[in-house]
Structures are given as C-alpha cells and as structure tokens.
C-alpha cells in the first residue's frame, strides 16, 4: 500500500509538471499572437463577439420554438381578424343597417 501511494503521488507530480509546461506554452503563444493589437482592435473584436453570441442565442431560441419572429405573429393575427366576420355570418346575408 505504501508503494502505491508513493508511485501514485509521483505520477501526479509528473503529470502536473507536464500540464504546467503545456499551459505556459499556450500562454506564450497567446501573448505573442496578441502583441500587435491595440485597444481599438480589442473593442472591435469584443463587439463582433457580442453580435455573434446574440445571433447564436436567437437562432437557438428559434430552433427550440421559444422565440418566433414578430412578423409571423402579426400576419397570423391579421388572418384571424379577416376570417372572424366570415365565420360569424356562416355565408348568410345579414342586415346590419337599421
């Protein structure tokens, strides 16, 4: 049991060392890739990211049926209002005047 704990902790230490090297390499590549950016570029990227996020969220809501376009709702209401007098009369002529 003692050897298992010793080898297990040694394996975890080696694994964490390699993960640390990997994280340092990724941070280094990010820093070198973002050296040429100024604040205007970062603001533009942030705005574009927000726009893409909102578009994806709207698309997901439409796919899930949570958000339907407003235009379709208005057209449906107009169709119902146009059909309503026709359904009430059942094709009969009525005298609306006094």
Number of alpha carbons in the 13 Å side-chain half-sphere of residue 64: 8
Concatenating the DSSP letter of every residue in 37-69 gives --HHHHHHHHHHHHHHHHHHHHHHHHHHTS---
Mean pLDDT along residues 31-54: 90
Q: Is the pLDDT of residue 69 over 80?
A: no
Residues of the chain above pLDDT 90, percent: 41
Of 9-13, 24-28, 86-90, where does mean pLDDT reach its minimum? 86-90
């Amino acid at each position: 049991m003692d050897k298992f704990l010793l080898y297990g902790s040694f394996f975890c230490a080696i694994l964490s060392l390699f993960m640390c090297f990997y994280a340092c390499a990724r941070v280094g590549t990010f820093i070198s890739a973002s050296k040429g950016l100024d604040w205007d570029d970062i603001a533009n990227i942030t705005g574009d990211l927000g726009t893409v996020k909102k578009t994806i969220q709207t698309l997901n809501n439409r796919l899930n049926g949570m958000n339907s376009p407003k235009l379709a709702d208005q057209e449906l209401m107009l169709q119902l209002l146009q059909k309503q007098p026709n359904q009430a009369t059942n094709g009969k002529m009525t005298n609306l005047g006094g």
